[in-house]
Amino acid sequence: MAIMGYLRDRMGKIVAGVIGLSLFAFIATEAIKSGGSFFKGDNNIVGSVGDEKIPLDEFNAGVEQNTTQFKQQSGQGRITPQITSYIQENTWNQFVSKAIFKKEVDKLGLAVEGDETQSMLTGSNPSPRVVQAFTDPQTGKFDPSSVANAINGIKGLRDDDPQKIRWKQFVIDLIDAKKAEKYMSLVTNGLYVNSLEAKDNYEAKNKLANFKYALLEYASVPDSKVNLTDADYSSYYDEHKSEFKNQQELRSINYVSFNAAPSAADSAVIKQQLNKLLPEFISTKDDSLFVQINSETKAPLLYQHKGELDPKIDSIMFKQSPGFIYGPYLSNGSYKLAKLVDERMSPDSVKARHILISPTEAGSMEKALARADSLKKLIESGKGSFASLAPIFSIDKASGAKGGELGTFGRNAMVPAFENAAFNGKKGDLKIVTSQFGVHLLEIEDQKGSSKVVKVATVDKALSASSNTQSAAYSKAQAFLISLTKDNFDAEAKKAGLSVQKAEDIQGTAASLPGLIDARDLVRWVFKSDKNDISDQVFTVGDQYVVARVTAIKPKGILPLDLVKEKIKPAVLMAVKGKMLTEKFKAASAGATSIEQIAQRAGTKVVPVQNIVFANPVIPGSSAEYKAIGTVFGLPLNKISKPIEGQQGVYVLVVNNFITPAPLTNALREKEQVANALLQRAEGQLFEALKDKDNVKDNRAKLL
């Protein structure tokens, strides 16, 4: 019951705040696209940053911790392969960023002293992370005293207590983030924007150009009229080589899959199993026990509002009477039977307070119940107040410090026993309730709203393929695998009437592939194999059996021409067309005295354009044309440009006039705008530079 255990609640929020962010928030927008060559022969090192290695066991511990925190924050019990991959990537980012900035911070001797740490926690301007962690979820307000209460509660715990360990790590992370903030300040404080840069930026946004252009579109030359040569490819590749830098190793495969999804016969078997349970489900007097015994999902029976049930039954159940059973029906991969157990009008929210008593501290459950009863009688007799007794007797020190106050909460915010007592009672009731947290003395202070809620018992059986269905699909996959050599994959697939699928540019940490969910085992094999290798086994990927062949390996670094040749073909085609159209314009320009003459000879027309600014280089009716607009702002008036190869085709331009803006009167504001843009770029660029300098290596593809 998160709201009851203050430290449990706050610790969950503290550590959950780390999920989705790297350790240093200012580099979040430049999350590491981790790549790197792989180590040879060291199966215990998941990666390295310079000389500092990242041990596999420490990395896995980080992933496990972040996974636990994600579950606490999201309320999800089951983590999908995609979420696992996301958590692993975030954990990697944390390890790498921490190592990189620790090295730089230590080199400069930056430190965060004790008073500074205390100020971040309990000062007048606490760290944003502290504010986030200790903001009341009910009110949305930050209570500084709650931080002090948490610190006092932590002091009384043993050094090996998990909560104390998490708190220490939270403080360490605060200090590390503060050091990184200081380091970044040292760098960014050195950035400077002068008056000339401010003026250029102002004019780029406000100086207007009026011009005319003639355009020969690339589309005017049919692809069939262009014969690309090796020299064309080489020329384009050499001019754009920097664009082909691979940040991490990528691989591609061809694969065929054999469907092992449940058949119609399999569905009929599952439905029959549920139908056999139907008579007993109708007659049972203990629906909760029936669900626990017969359902694959052991969910507690809770009262729920309209809109909170499975969409397949939500509207149905709110129109029926208790005892009604619906199903079997298929939902989220399972066949289900749903029984309406109860319906009632219920408060929408409850304001309550409690005193939580530990049976362990009291000596036994009986003694804890007796203590709760004694406190109840004291309050009822007027000899003691709830507010004065809670700080003394409640083991929930957070709420105890506030007189036991839990605030206002809705349905499903508490454990079932506590919730039932709070929502089924009436304002002013004092109740003794037992839960897995201990014995609660509960006072219902207020109840607001009223709406219909229902309690539904659901029995489910997952729809899965039978052994016969699986065996038939696996046998086909195995037979296909046996027939393969490195050279006959496509031919054998065609002979068997199988569709060959492609998965290109796979990252080493990928958890899924196009059309294949939970394909981690397959990806791991891909990154241990050589080009043209056939999978050494039939891989089970969800309800598919997969056989694959590695078709390409793109190493980290500048990719060679042969690996990008097919990808750059459209660009090479456009470049060759550009040369052809440029020659056409040059021929049309010979002896011409106006852009109109050039356009007429080239078989095109002149288009006037008004009020274009350098900062927004878009030609109306077209797209962004950086080269063309850049040429315009560099041309003398009335001078015809040379042919310019743009995005849509080849341009010839002539400027009619420029409209100069009023002189810049507020250079300071303009400097600030340029500086802010520079700052945003600088943080990410600095991190990338440090990452390259520190030689980050990533071995996750083969180990995870």
Does residue 507 contact residue 88 with C-beta atoms inside 8 Å? no
Residue 321 lies in a domain: yes
CA angle (215 as vertex; 209, 218 as ends), nearest 5: 135
The per-residue pLDDT for range 610-651, each reduced to its tens digit, is 999 999 999 998 889 999 999 999 999 999 999 999 999 999
Mean pLDDT on 524-553: 95
CA dist 89 to 59, 60, 72, 78, Å? 11, 12, 19, 18
257 and 234 within one domain: no
Q: How sure is the predictor about 681, in pLDDT bands with cuts at 50, 70 and 90?
A: confident
Q: What's residue 42's pLDDT? A: 57
Q: What's residue 5's pLDDT? A: 39
Is the pLDDT higher at 221 or at 41? 221
Q: What's residue 137's pLDDT? A: 63
Q: Which domain holds residue 621?
A: 208-245+561-659
Q: What's residue 254's pLDDT? A: 96
Residue 298 lies in a domain: yes
Does residue 213 contact residue 620 with C-beta atoms inside 8 Å? no
512 and 370 within one domain: no
Six-digit token string for 558: 């500048």
485 and 500 within one domain: yes
438 and 319 within one domain: no
Give the domain-ending residue among 448, 478, 512: 448
474 and 356 within one domain: no
Residue 270 lies in a domain: yes
Mean pLDDT of the chain: 88
Mean pLDDT on 534-554: 95
* CATH assignment of the domain containing 284: 3.10.50
- Rounded Cα–Cα distance for residues 547 and 477 (Å): 7
Q: What's residue 159's pLDDT? A: 86
Q: How sure is the predictor about 456, in pLDDT bands with cuts at 50, 70 and 90?
A: very high
284 and 388 within one domain: no
650 and 593 within one domain: yes
Q: Which of 64-73, 129-138, 543-552, 604-613 has the lowest mean pLDDT?
A: 129-138
The per-residue pLDDT for range 54-87, each reduced to its tens digit, is 999 999 988 988 888 888 777 677 788 788 888 9
Residue 196 lies in a domain: no
The per-residue pLDDT for range 14-33, each reduced to its tens digit, is 333 433 333 333 333 333 33
225 and 166 within one domain: no
Q: What's residue 39's pLDDT? A: 34
Give the domain-ending residue among 531, 554, 577: 554
Helix residue ranges, H only, 207-286: 230-239, 264-283
Residue 75 lies in a domain: yes
Closest C-alpha to 419, from 301, 518, 257, 595: 301
7: pLDDT strictly greater than 50 = no
Residue 59 lies in a domain: yes
182 and 229 within one domain: no
Is the pLDDT higher at 521 or at 685? 521
Classify each residue of 228-255 as buried b or exposed e, where b means 16 or more C-beta atoms within 10 Å of its C-beta.
eeeebbeebbeeeeeebebebbbbbbbb
Q: What's residue 31's pLDDT? A: 34
- Rounded Cα–Cα distance for residues 632 and 156 (Å): 73
Residue 104 lies in a domain: yes
The per-residue pLDDT for range 376-393, each reduced to its tens digit, is 999 999 988 999 899 889
141 and 49 within one domain: yes
226: pLDDT strictly greater than 80 = yes
* CATH assignment of the domain containing 375: 3.10.50.40
Six-digit token string for 228: 């690309």
| 3-state SS record for 470-487 | HHHHHHHHHHHHHCCCCC
Six-digit token string for 289: 């026990």
241 and 254 within one domain: no
Mean pLDDT on 168-179: 89
Q: What's residue 29's pLDDT? A: 34
Residue with tokens 């009291």: 362
Secondary structure (3-state) at 438: strand
Six-digit token string for 46: 């998941």
Among residues of the chain, what percentage have pLDDT more than 90?
60
Q: How sure is the predictor about 551, in pLDDT bands with cuts at 50, 70 and 90?
A: very high
Residue 194 lies in a domain: no
Domain tally, the chain: 5
Q: How sure is the predictor about 1, in pLDDT bands with cuts at 50, 70 and 90?
A: very low
- pTM here is 0.63
Give the domain-ending residue among 346, 364, 398: 346
Does residue 413 contact residue 419 with C-beta atoms inside 8 Å? yes
182: pLDDT strictly greater than 50 = yes
172 and 118 within one domain: yes
Give the end-to-end CA distance of the chain in Å, rounded to a whole number. 34
